[in-house]
């Protein structure tokens, strides 16, 4: 790199960091949201049942839940950005390879990408808090918006890509490895400043959450809020195209309608973190977020016309609000970066195991009942639980860790 002044170098590496945050965020949903619209393309070819297809989006959630507790330990060993670099390499391999064979290869590649995404899920809130401590709301909004713009894009254009004469569903899945490869390049460009920093942000983080978290009512409320708010969108990413096609929409229309659902997430993702960071208590907005989910899903279940777009956007606003609040709770309910990481680890490990029930359970229930009515009712009940948990998780309190009790 040419000789640059100190200020210019700092700006250069800051721009690279911003770009890395945007690109990593772009990889955290698009590999998953691209699957649902493509299910009609590969269900018969791979001879897969609804239960087996449910596993395609259940496996990443299980990977999030099982692998999340080990992420802080990896970060303390290798450093935050090096760990993210390794995750982006693994994600690229998983996304590209999952469509190269039969259902077994699809599931194995999905497991790899799930492990990689778990790293991003856990580390990104801590990275934002440690590198932009005075812009947490703004940067969380940027991170969330990028995640959902590319998630929506993946839902909308996967079917058109698969429908191109020289391409098929396998290419439509593989294309989403581009962003993780770009993230790898950007993180490699940041390597000089990563090496010179000579510090590991999570050096004092334990590999397992503090026992104080398991005794905290607020920590459990944040954890279950995180899990249930994830259960609904990941279930919809998998089965919403099927639900819409039973209402008379075509495969392509269903893909774009799923994209409309995710469009609703975007303004909420950007605005809610900024608003929440300025509020003393987030109880009201957290409760309302669950009710937005409820009324949006109610409208989706009762509507078969183009009016369904409005209810899908309303559901998306609920999803964007709850997700943004869940990310903010990791920061707002703790006092330090290590504590934020521990709460994030607990909430994402247990929460995603809870969320993993969604795609598999709803697919199985739909198969048993030969209808999507009962699965939608289950999701509406879950949304009311989210509203109740939000009134606890949104309290203006921080969790007391052992070190705080000991006066350290």
- Per the domain annotation, does 1 fall within a domain? no
- Per the domain annotation, does 249 fall within a domain? yes
What stretches of 1-63 adopt beta strand conformation (E)?
none
- Per the domain annotation, does 256 fall within a domain? yes
Q: Are 325 and 272 in contact (CB under 8 A)?
A: yes
Cα(394)–Cα(284) distance, rounded to whole angstroms?
8
- Per the domain annotation, does 2 fall within a domain? no
**Full residue range of the structural domain in which residue 369 is found:** 11-405
CA angle 73, 146, 55 (to 5 degrees): 65
- Answer whether residue 210 shows pLDDT above 80: no
Please, which pLDDT band fits residue 402 given cuts at 50, 70 and 90?
A: low
Taking alpha carbons only, the member of 400, 8, 26 closest to residue 215 is 400
Residue with tokens 């970066």: 337
Cα(241)–Cα(250) distance, rounded to whole angstroms?
9
Q: How many helices (H) and strands (E) does the chain have?
A: 20, 0
Look at 40-49, 127-136, 292-301 and tell me which has the smallest mean pLDDT: 127-136
Q: Are 75 and 202 in contact (CB under 8 A)?
A: yes
Res 207: pLDDT: 46
- Answer whether residue 17 shows pLDDT above 80: yes
Look at 73-77, 93-97, 211-215, 399-403 and tell me which has the smallest mean pLDDT: 399-403
- Per the domain annotation, does 339 fall within a domain? yes
Size (the chain), residues: 408
- Per the domain annotation, does 101 fall within a domain? yes
Please, which pLDDT band fits residue 83 given cuts at 50, 70 and 90?
A: very high
pLDDT one-digit tens code per residue, 322-372: 988 998 898 888 877 777 778 877 888 899 899 988 888 898 899 899 999
pTM (two decimals): 0.78
- Per the domain annotation, does 227 fall within a domain? yes
Could you give the number of structural domains in the chain? 1
Query: Domain of 65: which CATH number?
Result: 1.20.1250.20
- Per the domain annotation, does 4 fall within a domain? no
Please, which pLDDT band fits residue 4 given cuts at 50, 70 and 90?
A: low
Res 19: pLDDT: 93
- Answer whether residue 278 shows pLDDT above 90: no
DSSP string, 49-92: -HHHHHHHHHHHHHHHHHHGGGHHHHHHHH-HHHHHHHHHHHHH
């Amino acid at each position: 790199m040419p000789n640059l002044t100190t200020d210019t170098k700092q700006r250069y590496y800051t721009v690279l960091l911003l770009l890395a945050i945007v690109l990593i965020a772009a990889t955290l949903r698009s590999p998953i949201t691209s699957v649902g619209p493509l299910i009609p393309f590969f269900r018969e070819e791979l001879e897969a049942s609804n239960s087996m297809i449910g596993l395609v989006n259940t496996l990443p959630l299980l990977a999030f839940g099982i692998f999340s507790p080990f992420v802080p330990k990896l970060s303390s060993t290798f450093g935050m950005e090096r760990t993210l670099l390794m995750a982006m390499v693994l994600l690229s391999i998983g996304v590209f390879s999952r469509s190269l064979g039969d259902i077994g290869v699809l599931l194995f590649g999905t497991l790899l990408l799930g492990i990689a995404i778990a790293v991003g899920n856990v580390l990104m809130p801590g990275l934002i808090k440690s590198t932009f401590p005075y812009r947490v709301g703004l940067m969380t909004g940027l991170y969330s918006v990028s995640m959902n713009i590319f998630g929506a894009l993946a839902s909308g254009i996967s079917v058109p890509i698969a429908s191109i004469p020289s391409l098929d569903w396998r290419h439509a899945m593989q294309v989403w490895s581009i962003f993780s490869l770009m993230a790898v390049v950007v993180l490699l460009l940041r390597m000089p400043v990563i090496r010179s920093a000579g510090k590991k942000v999570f050096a004092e983080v334990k590999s397992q959450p503090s026992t104080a978290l398991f005794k905290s009512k607020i920590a459990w409320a944040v954890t279950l809020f995180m899990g249930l708010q994830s259960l609904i969108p990941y279930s919809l990413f998998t089965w919403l195209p099927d639900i819409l096609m039973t209402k008379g929409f075509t495969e392509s229309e269903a893909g774009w309608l799923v994209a409309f659902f995710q469009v609703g997430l975007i303004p909420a993702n950007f605005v809610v973190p900024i608003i929440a960071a300025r509020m003393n208590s987030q109880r009201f907005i957290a409760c309302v977020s669950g009710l937005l989910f409820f009324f949006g899903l109610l409208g989706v279940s009762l509507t078969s016309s183009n009016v369904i777009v409005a209810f899908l956007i309303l559901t998306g606003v609920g999803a964007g609000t709850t997700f943004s609040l869940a990310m903010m709770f990791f920061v707002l309910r703790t006092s330090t970066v290590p504590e934020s990481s521990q709460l994030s680890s607990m909430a994402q490990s247990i929460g995603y195991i809870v969320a993993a029930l969604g795609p598999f359970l709803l697919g199985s229930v739909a198969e048993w009942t030969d209808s999507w009515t009962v699965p939608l009712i289950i999701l509406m009940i879950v949304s009311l639980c989210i509203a109740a948990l939000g009134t606890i998780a949104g309290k203006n309190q921080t969790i007391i860790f052992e070190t705080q009790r000991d006066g350290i």
